[in-house]
Amino acid sequence: MSERETWATRAGFILAAVGSAVGLGNIWQFPFKTAQFGGASFLIVYLIAALGIGLPTILAEFVIGRKSNLNTISAFEKLGYKNWRIVGALGLFTGFWILSYYSVVGGWVLRYLGGSVTGAYFGAPAEYFGQISAGMDALVLHAVFMALVIGIVAAGIEDGIEKATKLMVPSIVVILGALAIFAFTLPGASEGYAYFLSPNFDALASNFGEIVPFAVGQAFFSLSLGMGAMITYASYIDGDESLFGDGITIVFLNSFVGILAGLVVIPLLFAQGIDPNTSGAGAVFISVAGAFGSLPAGRIIGVVFFAVVLIAALSSAISLLEVVVAWAIDNYDVSRPQVATLLGGIIFLLGVPSALDTAWLGWFDTLAYKFFLPVGVLGILVFAAWVYGAPAIDELMKGSGLGEGVGLTWLWLARTLVIVAVVVTLALGFQTLFLGENPAIIPPL
Ligand code: TRP
């Protein structure tokens, strides 16, 4: 078997990981929830969740990946814990699961990119969304999006993912920055900022029980944690640079892009007098899209905006496909382009229900968010902090130049607070999944 691939540079690894993290979660969920949950006061809660819970978890994944230099299943065996491959296997399954519907949404973005050029959705954004979000249109564009993802992953780590994300991540920051400056010039922008960021401790206090699990869940999803994406990416690291430094950089950039996205979309909505109190699909594809229809330079701004959303979605989607491709390449004598195509094709098929009916898409998303990802995070944390333990600290500290205290702090945070936070998040999710009148676990048949 040929030698395993590696990143060409440390920056290449960091940018690929940021590319994975920065995605639809940052653009279509984060700004709206921030505004709704108390602006700047929510931001503080989120940053605490990202640093206190997301960072220790991303470090746990990095340790497993860099130490083993293997995919998310084989890694556990290599470290001497064969039975823990079950955690990796769950991650692999979750990779198939999430990418299947993430790609359908990627297809919508492609469609809106075209729609911005022709102005197709300008008159009636809600009707347009209804037409293109489910059915034949959605299916075809889901296929196109998957083909793009397969193309990048097939080209390999250095020549595919690293080259692509090196271009994509800086473009996301620059384009969003330019759009934020444009939004700043619009009348009504200042009310937008006030709505987005002004601290509202009452809103925070009265919804605290809902906000904390949301902040934790968002930190996990947004940092691509819980299914081995970061294990897989870290497995291609060649060298002993500070994992700790890399982790902080990624958490910081990921939060920064979320805030930047808010500085684009929220003033835009205010300038057009559109109610920003929506979230999820309707927010980006109906409200924001609607704003372009009434802006003077709406076509250009729309094209640029959906281009940046497409880049963000693509650079996340490739990390999901890479998790399953890495597993196949490490274990079987197959070529990368072949498995990328085969496994990408299976993922496409799994996404067909989501492309035909948005109720399926929502069901896949809910199960991922509330069940597969938190269970995966829990497994990874228990393994890294309780089972693997001391060698994990050694791996974490290697090349970091930091004292032993940092490693011990990580270990005990991961062993206690972080695990408790995940268990609470899971428990709350279980309520919506299994209890009540409409348990979310029941598929929309
Ligand atoms: N983080 C991406 C986003 O914010 C989505 C994503 C990519 C993801 N890879 C993942 C989520 C792995 C969970 C696990 O859109």
Full pLDDT tens readout for the chain, 445 residues: 568 999 999 999 999 999 999 999 999 889 988 888 888 889 999 999 999 999 999 999 999 999 999 999 999 999 999 999 999 999 999 999 999 999 999 999 999 999 999 999 998 999 999 999 999 999 999 999 999 999 999 999 999 999 999 999 999 999 999 999 999 999 889 999 998 888 888 888 888 888 888 888 899 999 999 999 999 999 999 988 999 999 999 999 999 999 999 999 999 988 888 877 776 677 889 989 999 988 888 999 999 999 999 999 999 999 999 999 999 999 999 999 999 999 999 999 999 999 999 999 999 999 998 899 999 999 999 999 999 999 999 999 998 888 889 999 999 999 999 999 999 988 888 888 898 788 889 999 8
317 CA: nearest ligand 1 atom = 7
Residue 319 CB less than 6 A away from ligand 1:
yes
Q: Whose CA is nearest to atom 12 of ligand 1?
A: 224
Q: What is the pLDDT of residue 297?
A: 87
* Contact between residue 392 and residue 384 where contact means Cβ atoms under 8 Å apart: yes
Evaluate whether 288 touches 42 at the Cβ level (below 8 Å). Answer: no
Which tokens is 336 given? 């990368």
Q: How close is the Cα of 227 to the center of ligand 1, in Å?
A: 9
SS3 letters across 373-399:
HHHHHHHHHHHHHHHHCHHHHHHHHCC
Annotate 177-235 with DSSP letters as a single string: HHHHHHHHTSTTHHHHHHHHHS--HHHHHHTHHHHHHHHHHHHHHHTT-SSSHHHHHHT
CA-only gyration radius of the chain, Å: 21
Cβ–ligand 1 contact at 222 (below 6 Å): yes
What is residue 386's predicted lDDT score, i.e. its pLDDT?
A: 98
What's the pLDDT score for residue 279? Answer: 65
Contact 24 CB / ligand 1 (< 6 Å): yes
Q: Which atom of ligand 1 is nearest to the CA of 223?
A: 1
Predicted pLDDT at 183: 94
Pocket test for ligand 1, best of 221, 310, 380 (most atoms within 8 A of CB): 221
Q: Cβ distance 55 to 251 under 8 Å?
A: yes
232 Cβ below 6 A of ligand 1: no
Q: Which two tokens stand for residue 17?
A: 């990981």
Output the residue whose Cα is nearest ligand 1's atom 3. Answer: 23
Rounded to the nearest angstrom, the distance between the alpha carbon of 369 and the centre of ligand 1 is 10
What is the pLDDT, as a whole number, of residue 2? 67
Helix (H, G, I), strand (E, B) or coil at 280: coil
Q: How many helices (H) and strands (E) does the chain have?
A: 25, 0
Q: Is 21 in the pocket of ligand 1 (CB under 6 A)?
A: yes
- Of 108, 224, 255, 257, the one to substitute when testing ligand 1's pocket (max ligand atoms within 8 A of C-beta) is 224
- Rounded to two decimals, the pTM is 0.96
Contact call for residues 19 and 165 (beta carbons, < 8 A): yes
The answer to whether residues 104 and 318 touch, using CB atoms and an 8 Å cutoff, is no
**237 C-alpha to ligand 1 centroid (Å):** 20
Looking at ligand 1, which residue's alpha carbon is closest to its atom 8?
224
CA 137 to ligand 1 centroid distance, Å: 24
Closest to 417 in 3D by CA, of 8, 4, 34, 48 = 48
Whole-Å CA distances, 3 to 8, 78, 192, 329, 420: 14, 17, 53, 11, 40
pLDDT of residue 60: 98
The residue whose CA is least distant from atom 13 of ligand 1 is 224
Which of the listed residues 222, 225, 231 should we mutate to test ligand 1's pocket, taking the one with most ligand atoms within 8 A of CB? 222
* CA 202 to ligand 1 center in whole angstroms: 31
